Amino acid sequence: MTGRTVTWEEGWNLFLKSPLVGFGFQADRYFLHQHMHNAFLHVLVQAGLLGGGAILLALGIVWFYLIRYFFLRQPADKSLIPAEIPAVFLFVTISSIAESTFAYFSAAWLLSAPILAYTMALDRHMRALKAKETREKIQRHALARRASRLQGGPGGVSDISPLGAGGGGL
């Protein structure tokens, strides 16, 4: 790891000196005089638990949705889930262990930001589809109950015909 673990230990000690709000942008260079080489520790040193925790929470949410929609509950339209999205995000997440990918505006962030946006848009789209399916299911059940009542089924009135009460015959 070419000395990175020593830097991580120094970074952790720096984080503990201001765990709530951190030390600001590029704190690793100002206080340690070197690059942190770990995105997760880097955001904690820069922004503390408040800012760093928000970024880590956002990454966790994106991973939750990626796993949900790309592996567990895939949409019927497979074009919504290109395999490159989780692959690139996995690469960037793993490389974050030895590089500061999310801690500042790097090329890795330029790859990741659209994935975060796409994943959140995919979740919104999938929720809208689910809500539409639920509304349609409720409408089908209501129509089935109404038809059952009109035909004299359980809970219905048997002398009601489509022509009105009393049969309306000739």
pTM of the prediction?
A: 0.75
Asked whether residue 158 is assigned to any structural domain, the reply reads no
Measured between its terminal Cα atoms, the distance across the chain in Å is 95
| Residue 44 maps to a domain | yes
Residue 165 lies in a domain: no
Contact 41, 11 (CB under 8 A): yes
Whether 163 maps to a domain, the answer reads no
Do 85 and 115 touch, CB atoms closer than 8 A?
A: yes
Tell me the pLDDT tens digit for each residue of 1-49: 678 899 999 999 999 999 999 999 889 999 999 988 899 999 999 999 9
Phi/psi of residue 34, each to 5°?
A: -160, 170
pLDDT of 160 > 60? The answer is no
> Residue 58 belongs to what H/E stretch?
helix 39-67
Does residue 131 belong to any structural domain of this protein? yes
| Residue 160 lies inside a defined structural domain of this protein | no
pLDDT of residue 111: 86
The whole-number average pLDDT for the span 91-105 is 85
User: Is 164 in a helix, a strand, or coil?
Assistant: strand
The H or E element that residue 86 is part of is helix 84-95
What distance in Å separates the CA atoms of residue 17 and residue 1, rounded to the nearest whole number? 25
Domain with 91 in it: 4-153
Confidence of residue 162 (pLDDT cuts 50, 70, 90): low
Pair 39, 47: CB distance under 8 Å: no
Rounded Cα–Cα distance for residues 18 and 41 (Å): 13
List beta partners, residue 161.
164
Asked if 156 and 148 touch (Cβ cutoff 8 Å), the reply is yes
Residue 123 pLDDT greater than 90, yes or no:
yes
Could you give the angle at the alpha carbon of 102 between the alpha carbons of 101 and 103, nearest 5°? Answer: 100
The pLDDT value recorded for residue 47 is 93
Whether the predicted pLDDT of 164 surpasses 80:
no
For position 155, what pLDDT does the model report?
Answer: 52
pLDDT at 144 over 70: yes
Q: How many domains does the chain have?
A: 1
